[in-house]
Structures are given as structure tokens and as C-alpha cells.
């Protein structure tokens, strides 16, 4: 288990300061001699504006990466699980959920989501030849 706290203070000339905070708690479960590996994270974030956002790298399925920008006020959780089925086959799945306390919709235009919740699922099966 590991945790991290980030704080940012952003101020433009003759403007009031804006603060951003991000707290991360990571948990890794990988029993010895087990083909299963589980990684989880809880993130709590709060920022005054887009200018005081904080980026954080997330573990993801192979050949992809995720570095979300945390702004506004909310939390994010995700679980990433992998199973080594055989020496030539593996399976990965990542399930994530973000909740914003102060928003009625997320995004804009065709990407707009009505409501304060954003959930996603990624999965991959890899077969080596």
C-alpha cells in the first residue's frame, strides 16, 4: 500500500490564487505463486479551476496508458486485474469510476455525459504466437 498527496498553488499576475489538491491511495494484491494480480486506487481531488488541475499516471492494461487531469471536486476509484492463464495467454480488465460533487454534467458537445458520474471498462486478451 502507498499513498501520495499533491498540492498546487496557481496564481497569475493581479489575480487571486487558485489551489488544487490530489490524494492517492494505491493497493497492490499479488499472492505468491498466483496467476492473479490486482491493483486498486482511490483518488480524492479538489481544485478551484482548470488552471489548478493535477495530472496523475494510472496503471492500465498493456500497450495503453492513462494520465487523467483532476479538476473540480470529487473522487475516482479503479481496479485493474490481470490473470496469467498460460505462458502464452493473459487477460486484463480495468474498471474505473469518477464522481464529481459539484457538476450536473461532464464534458461538452457530443462527449457530454448528463450527471456527475463517469464510468469506464477496458479489457484485453493477449495470445502470443
38, part of any domain: yes
Reported as a single tens digit per residue, the pLDDT across 95-105 is 999 999 988 99
12, part of any domain: no
Task: Give the model's pLDDT for residue 16.
Answer: 87
Half-sphere exposure of 81 (CA within 13 A, CB side): 11
59, part of any domain: yes
**Chain-centre distance for alpha carbon 76:** 6
Q: What is the pTM of this model?
A: 0.87
CB 44, CB 10: distance < 8 Å? no
98, part of any domain: yes
Interatomic CA distance for residues 114 and 82, integer angstroms: 32
22, part of any domain: yes
Phi, psi of 82 (to 5 degrees): -135, 145
111, part of any domain: yes
Among 126, 123, 121, which residue's Cα sits nearest to residue 85?
A: 126
CB 23, CB 44: distance < 8 Å? yes
Task: Give the model's pLDDT for residue 14.
Answer: 86
pLDDT along the chain (129 residues), means of 10: 94 89 97 95 94 94 94 96 96 98 90 93 97
35, part of any domain: yes
Task: Give the model's pLDDT for residue 48.
Answer: 85
Domain span at 31: 2-7+17-127
Work out how many domains the chain is built from and give that number. 1
31, part of any domain: yes
Amino acid at each position: 500500500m502507498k499513498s501520495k498527496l499533491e498540492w498546487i498553488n496557481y496564481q497569475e499576475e493581479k489575480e487571486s490564487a487558485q489551489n488544487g489538491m490530489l490524494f492517492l491511495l494505491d493497493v497492490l494484491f499479488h499472492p505468491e505463486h498466483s496467476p492473479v494480480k490486482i491493483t486498486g486506487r482511490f483518488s480524492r481531488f479538489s481544485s478551484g479551476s482548470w488552471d489548478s488541475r493535477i495530472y496523475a499516471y494510472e496503471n492500465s492494461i498493456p500497450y495503453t496508458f492513462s494520465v487523467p487531469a483532476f479538476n473540480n471536486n470529487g473522487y475516482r476509484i479503479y481496479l485493474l486485474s490481470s490473470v496469467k492463464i498460460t505462458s502464452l495467454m493473459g487477460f486484463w480488465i480495468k474498471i474505473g469510476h469518477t464522481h464529481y460533487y459539484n457538476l450536473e454534467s461532464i464534458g461538452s458537445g457530443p462527449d457530454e455525459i448528463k450527471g456527475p458520474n463517469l464510468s469506464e471498462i477496458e479489457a484485453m486478451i493477449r495470445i502470443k504466437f
